[in-house]
Structure 1
Amino acid sequence: MINFSFSCSTLFYNIMEQTPNISCEDDDFQLCPDLNCGDEDEETSQSSLATNIEKEFASLTIEEMESRLEVGKPIPDEIIAYGMYCLYGRAKGFSVRKDNVEWFKDGSGIKARDFVCSCEGNKDEKRSRLNIPAFLKPTKRCNCKAKIRVGRLKGQDWRVTSFRKEHNHDMYSPDLTYLLRSSRQLSSEMQQCLESMVKCKIPVRKAYDFLRIESQGRENVGCTQKDMYDAVSRAKKQSIIERSDADQLVEYFMNMTNKEPGFYWNAQRDEDKRLVNFFFRDYRCRIDYEYFGDVLSVDTTYRTNKYNMICCPFVGINHHWQTVMFGCAFMSNEKESSFEWLFTTFLESMGGKQPETIFTDQCRAMMNAIDTVFPESHHRLCHWHINQNTSNHFGSLKGDEMVDDYNIEDKDWFTNMYNLRHRWATAFSCHRFSAGLNATSRSKGTNAALKNEFGGSTSSLYECVLSFDELLESWRNDEKIKDNYSHHYWLPVGLNPYLKQHDLLSNFAITEQVEVFGTSLVLYTMNSRMGRSRSITVQFDSQTSTVACSCHKYETCGILCSHAIKVLERVNIDYIPEIYIKKRWTKSVAKRICDGRGASCSGTSGAFPVVFVPEMVRKVYGLAGRAKFHNETRSILAESLESVESKLNDWFENFNLNVPLVGNDGNIPQTNETGKGENVPQTNEVVLLDPHPIRTRGYTDVHIRHWDAKGRKSKGRGQRLSKF
């Protein structure tokens, strides 16, 4: 169980992990250093020693603590001395900070160290008179002389050399000691919990409220809400200082390449070795493209990072009519050469398979690149993007007024749209498969999902890639839910899909039947029973049992239309022929994950180290919830955990665990297929700098009024009233 309540052992363990050179002169909260640094065996032994001392020291009264800190008393080392003095300060009601440190002349180590009350010293009056803002703040320093000094001779043990326990100020009351700076620490468990919450887009305020409720009070959390804000802020700044955005990105791609079979990535850099474009996809995207890659939608209208790079997702439609991802790219510009590189890279990563239909926006550079890289594909323009652009060009104009009064036929945009009618008009694409997609809601939904998942204009590329993976996992989980539902639920016999389609035919009736002389073809004409003038013609071949309808639903959607089923019923065929059942729409497509790799991508064959931790946390948390109501059960659980902790400490002391036995995924790392960038060599040492922040196409500092700004202005707002 993750214990979020304050305990002396938690405080002591965090103190043990601090380095002796960390300055604590100020009153700001200091986050503990990285728990993974240093020698693991040494950390384990120090932790075990600190725990044993804590169990003995924390149970003492204030008088007994003072007797243990008297002059001449032995101390294991100066770090443990600081921890003991902090525990003493919390019990008595004052905060502790580190002060002077004295080193051996040969520099071999620390000779002596002072730990003082936080009220020690006086405010610098000289600087205060200079009106320096930092020295004009209220202070609590009142020249308190309480302190402890520990020291040693060379080659000898640490001892208390000075201890003054008199204070010249009031002590904190017991209900306020949780506010003491030396008592506020973020435990390693709390850091991991906070990190997970931040990754899930949970505000720090909500995370603190959760910890407050779990620990049953603010005084038991171990830190304040501001401490958590500072910890998150420092972690982000430290990440930026230690590694650049591009370095983190390359390291992530390298780790994924070694961990996941078939992970693909490729990148471009300019002459200054700055990142320009990059593309990535996992192996599941490759499998999905094999089954659903007949229709591809590419959207380049969303920018959501601090470099203002274009987010370019490659999406399609799966067997549940849900959005499925084939990969993602980030681009610095919208040049034709960049699109050619991107589409060539995508085609290479997918084994050269070209889609039947591609939906994009109205970017001329992208159109030219598609004609070059995808000559066999039918390029269509997304209706959603056309609708977005139409409002900007049409404004409030409509009907004949647009043509007659404003001579609209001479406008370039409308002329260009007419010349491109074969790319967006449905009448020109009725013989091309598009899975029934006009991209009206698909692009809009993808943009909305990316906007909700990404952090906005301040997000780094590395954060965007991690957020993209979270979005991908969410979409795939939705597909699992649909697969489970379709495999375990079905319609009653009287309402099977064939009969359900048959019930929808009540609006049409066969009015004419014509046999083509000398052939096996029969033409059926259907008219609407609703009084509409529309008529449908269905051609049936009795020799091959094939049908062809003038509505072209099967050609565009891959699903046999109700008109064709009506004809099949007329000729006493009570089943849908196999040739009209596309595999991409069947339930068997759900097995593609196992077929692609021999094992499920979502499942695991063993207990991975990453999975082990949350499983154990849930188990211990459940036991603690059951045992908390009785003293006897609480004692049983506490003694059992102490026994387990002791056994683990003994095991860690006898074995060296610096080298992991398995990788992060529980398997031995192996080589996999990876994309070879033409400019970025995918080696262990890749020199890649952060991209330049760029402006969007058409960006201007001048405010451009909306065409309907006058009509959109709210009535009554900003109007001056007459004084009468």
Structure 2
Amino acid sequence: MGEQCHSHAPLEINFSESEENLISHSPEECKLETDSFDGIDACPVPQRGMVFSSEAEARLYYTKYATQMGFRVMTRTSKKGRDGKVKYLILVCSEITRNASDAARKQYCAARINLTLRKDGTYRINAVTLGHSHELGSHHLLPSDIDMRGKRTLDSEVIDMGVKKISDKNEYRNYLQQERHLIGENGDGEALQRYLVRMQEQDRNFFYAIDLDDFFCVRNVFWADGRSRAAYESFGDVVTVDTTCLSNCYKVPLVTFVGVNHHGQSVLFGCGLLSCEDSEAFAWLFESLLHCMSGVPPQGILTDHCCKAMQKAVETVYPSTRHRWCLSNIMEKLPQIIDGYANNKSLRDRLQNVVYDTPTTNEFEGKWKKIMEDFDLKDNKWLKELFLERHRWAPSFVRGEFWAGMSINPHSENMHAFFDGYVNRQTTLKQFVDQYDNALQYKTEKEYIADIHSSSNTQACVTQSLIERQFQSAYTHAKFLEVQHEFVGKADCNVSVGNGDGSICHYNVIEDVIIEDKPKESVVKVTYNRVDCDVKCNCQLFEFKGILCRHSLAVLSQERVKEVPCKFILDRWRKNIRRKYAYIKTSYGVQHFQPHVQRFEVLCNQFNSIAVAASEFEDTSAFVKDTLYNLKEKLEAWTTLLRNSTHVNVEKCNNMIDWK
């Protein structure tokens, strides 16, 4: 996509729209046969963002519009690339007047459209001027009066709309409004530019990328600070792409990449601004994230289910990444989809039941089809497409893979609300940039408080289970409470032996549940291996969320297991792990972080000076590497002692650890 500017070079871009150099061409250069031209159908007013499948279609569209308005068209400027294709062109009103004070000077009419060739071979209107410096004709021009160029045969369906065949005029108008967002107007561009430059000065790990069009106007932007990039290393396995602000009711065309930290809180990986919502723009944004994160793609990505362009971009840029749709986003739209159907409340309740309370794919499919028959919804296009793509969103289909628990039930945290309270429909880009640090500081402080509570306090157990105590000592408070919820639910589970095959045991766990306000029994199957203490439940809560389910805990209790293997205690949810991003200096640094962040900065500078001195010779370099390796092992032992006790005698630690 166009030109790119990366953060490795200073930002010297004017975010205001560029002025083109006008080159006059005679009307003879613009002639075109118009055998297939239909001057009767109304032609829409040109707007930025309109797209044509070829140069010829763009020319014919503007000529048709000029005909109904009463003026003629000529080419003012065009430029070809090495492949011979026109890279950009400017079509203008052909009216030329003489200056009253200087008859030798020509004055061209201001009306025009600027067109740019895109990578996919289509042409997009980049700028529009509608006003004329003269009176328009009082009647439509005849086809024979129009200046054209070349012979072409055009698709009549494309000609009818100039861009796409969209039957409804309101739908077409909405399409045009959504096709292009303005970035960098009314001082917003200068504010963004100052922010990017300031961040690069304050944060040596700050990254940004800018996508420019052929007129060096900003098309798309991506950025991520050093803390967000480091957080991606710990939690970037699952990423949610929030495109809420791309709606035309928002002034900031913002896209955010969000994940989940060890407390289950949302954590930011990066932000983008998109001028349009096609697959090309999304592909550029995803490639920028990939480049920013050292070429490591997310293992799973969640997006809005409506955006086909985003789905295509994910498949192109992240071919090996699992892609699913945000369930909460789908369920929020459900009421308006079924509004007007008979027994609306009953229909909504049954749809929520089939989504949230069907553990198996077969049960989901059977109940869904029954609802479609009972409420005569077989012709509902939205629900029909939703069912065809059920593997991308339905819990019973996505539970088998790790998604960090994102959007699995109606009470889960909304990942789309990262900038909630800082961005609304009236927020401008300048206002957002001014509030950006405040938003991230609030999130950072929230995480810091959770870290302090998890490390300094102990959440009480609700059972006498040694397994619960195992999770108590390992997990953050938020995640331990989720484990406790399963221990409480274990009381509703009854274990019965199904069958066994040597060391492999198969159990049926009968759970008492409430569905639609009625008590029912749910039966799940659990497999347990007595050799390696491996347990697997077909509810797949652990696979999806990384939390052992109540059914597995019931079987482990039946087997008298006192401690679970380490693989069931994920590092992702641990409270005593040092995570790199907590030591990264940022412009929104929390005051409480300053001591260890400052120590980190001082040590890094010392290590840099050591590296400079040691790297001169192979022997000195090898000596420092060996010394640092041994030092790291001893430091880890020491920090473990300090972390596990509130009162540690330094002299005692020195005696326990051999520093020689």
Query: TM-score normalized by structure 1?
Result: 0.46
User: SS of the residue aligned with 2:272?
Assistant: strand
Deviation at 1:415, TM superposition (A): 2.6
Please say if residues 407 and 413 of structure 2, whose CA atoms lie closer than 8 Å, have aligned partners that are also in contact: no
Deviation string 1:55-102 (CA, Å, 9 cap, x unpaired) is xxxxxxxxxxxxxxxxxxxxxxxxxxxxxxxxxxxxxxxxxxxxxxxx
User: SS of the residue aligned with 2:378?
Assistant: helix
User: In structure 2, what is the equivalent of residue 431 of structure 1?
Assistant: 400
Deviation at 1:482, TM superposition (A): 0.5
Please say if residues 309 and 332 of structure 1, whose CA atoms lie closer than 8 Å, have aligned partners that are also in contact: no
Aligned residue identity for 1:570: Q
Identify which of structures 1 and 2 has the higher relative contact order when contacts are C-alpha pairs closer than 8 Å and 6+ apart: 1
- For 2:219 and 2:496, locate their aligned partners in 1 and report how far apart those are by CA, in whole Å: 63
User: In structure 2, what is the equivalent of residue 70 of structure 1?
Assistant: none
- For 1:513 and 1:606, locate their aligned partners in 2 and report how far apart those are by CA, in whole Å: 55
The 5-angstrom pairing of residues 107-256 of structure 1 reads 244-256=187-199
Deviation string 1:616-652 (CA, Å, 9 cap, x unpaired) is xxxxxxxxxxxxxxxxxxxxxxxxxxxxxxxxxxxxx
- For 2:405 and 2:424, locate their aligned partners in 1 and report how far apart those are by CA, in whole Å: 32
- For 2:231 and 2:585, locate their aligned partners in 1 and report how far apart those are by CA, in whole Å: 13
- For 2:391 and 2:416, locate their aligned partners in 1 and report how far apart those are by CA, in whole Å: 26
User: Which of these residues, 436, 441, 455, is aligned with residue 473 of structure 1?
Assistant: 441
Please say if residues 510 and 524 of structure 2, whose CA atoms lie closer than 8 Å, have aligned partners that are also in contact: yes
Deviation at 1:261, TM superposition (A): 2.3
Matched, 1:524 2:507: yes
User: In structure 1, what is the equivalent of residue 335 of structure 2?
Assistant: 391
User: In structure 1, what is the equivalent of residue 383 of structure 2?
Assistant: 414
- For 1:492 and 1:440, locate their aligned partners in 2 and report how far apart those are by CA, in whole Å: 26
Please say if residues 305 and 464 of structure 1, whose CA atoms lie closer than 8 Å, have aligned partners that are also in contact: no
Aligned residue identity for 2:528: F
User: Which of these residues, 522, 532, 550, is aligned with residue 544 of structure 1?
Assistant: 532
- For 2:535 and 2:412, locate their aligned partners in 1 and report how far apart those are by CA, in whole Å: 33
Please say if residues 510 and 522 of structure 2, whose CA atoms lie closer than 8 Å, have aligned partners that are also in contact: yes
User: In structure 2, what is the equivalent of residue 568 of structure 1?
Assistant: 556
Deviation at 1:466, TM superposition (A): 2.9
Deviation at 1:388, TM superposition (A): 3.4
1:529–1:464 CA distance, 2 compared to 1 (3 A):
closer
User: Which of these residues, 290, 307, 311, is aligned with residue 367 of structure 1?
Assistant: 311
- For 1:543 and 1:282, locate their aligned partners in 2 and report how far apart those are by CA, in whole Å: 47
User: Which of these residues, 479, 491, 511, is aligned with residue 496 of structure 2?
Assistant: 511
Gaps of 5+ in 1: 1-239, 609-666, 671-724
Aligned residue identity for 2:384: T
User: Which of these residues, 451, 462, 467, is aligned with residue 430 of structure 2?
Assistant: 462
Deviation at 1:251, TM superposition (A): 2.8
User: SS of the residue aligned with 2:387?
Assistant: helix
Matched, 1:378 2:322: yes
Please say if residues 327 and 394 of structure 2, whose CA atoms lie closer than 8 Å, have aligned partners that are also in contact: no
Deviation at 1:484, TM superposition (A): 0.4
Deviation string 1:136-158 (CA, Å, 9 cap, x unpaired) is xxxxxxxxxxxxxxxxxxxxxxx
Percent of aligned pairs with the same amino acid: 28
1:589–1:442 CA distance, 2 compared to 1 (3 A):
farther
**Higher strand proportion:** 2
Query: TM-score normalized by structure 2?
Result: 0.50
Matched, 1:584 2:554: no
Aligned residue identity for 2:494: A
User: In structure 2, what is the equivalent of residue 533 of structure 1?
Assistant: 521
- For 2:500 and 2:395, locate their aligned partners in 1 and report how far apart those are by CA, in whole Å: 31
- For 2:334 and 2:597, locate their aligned partners in 1 and report how far apart those are by CA, in whole Å: 55
User: In structure 2, what is the equivalent of residue 482 of structure 1?
Assistant: 450
User: In structure 2, what is the equivalent of residue 331 of structure 1?
Assistant: 274
- For 1:551 and 1:520, locate their aligned partners in 2 and report how far apart those are by CA, in whole Å: 22
1:587–1:555 CA distance, 2 compared to 1 (3 A):
same
Matched, 1:349 2:292: yes
User: SS of the residue aligned with 1:409?
Assistant: coil
Deviation string 1:300-352 (CA, Å, 9 cap, x unpaired) is 12259998342111111111111111111111110110000001111111122
Please say if residues 305 and 458 of structure 1, whose CA atoms lie closer than 8 Å, have aligned partners that are also in contact: no
User: In structure 2, what is the equivalent of residue 316 of structure 1?
Assistant: 259
Aligned residue identity for 2:506: L
Deviation at 1:445, TM superposition (A): 4.2
Gaps of 5+ in 2: 1-183, 348-368, 470-483, 514-518, 599-604, 609-660
- For 2:402 and 2:522, locate their aligned partners in 1 and report how far apart those are by CA, in whole Å: 23
User: SS of the residue aligned with 2:576?
Assistant: helix
Please say if residues 199 and 206 of structure 2, whose CA atoms lie closer than 8 Å, have aligned partners that are also in contact: yes
- For 2:250 and 2:541, locate their aligned partners in 1 and report how far apart those are by CA, in whole Å: 44
Deviation string 1:11-67 (CA, Å, 9 cap, x unpaired) is xxxxxxxxxxxxxxxxxxxxxxxxxxxxxxxxxxxxxxxxxxxxxxxxxxxxxxxxx
Cα RMSD between the aligned structures? 3.6
Please say if residues 304 and 456 of structure 1, whose CA atoms lie closer than 8 Å, have aligned partners that are also in contact: no
Please say if residues 433 and 556 of structure 1, whose CA atoms lie closer than 8 Å, have aligned partners that are also in contact: yes
1:441–1:551 CA distance, 2 compared to 1 (3 A):
closer
User: In structure 1, what is the equivalent of residue 361 of structure 2?
Assistant: none
User: Which of these residues, 206, 220, 226, is aligned with residue 283 of structure 1?
Assistant: 226
Please say if residues 250 and 424 of structure 2, whose CA atoms lie closer than 8 Å, have aligned partners that are also in contact: no
Deviation string 1:265-304 (CA, Å, 9 cap, x unpaired) is 1111222322221111111111211111122111112259
Computing the radius of gyration from Cα coordinates, the structure with the larger value is: 1
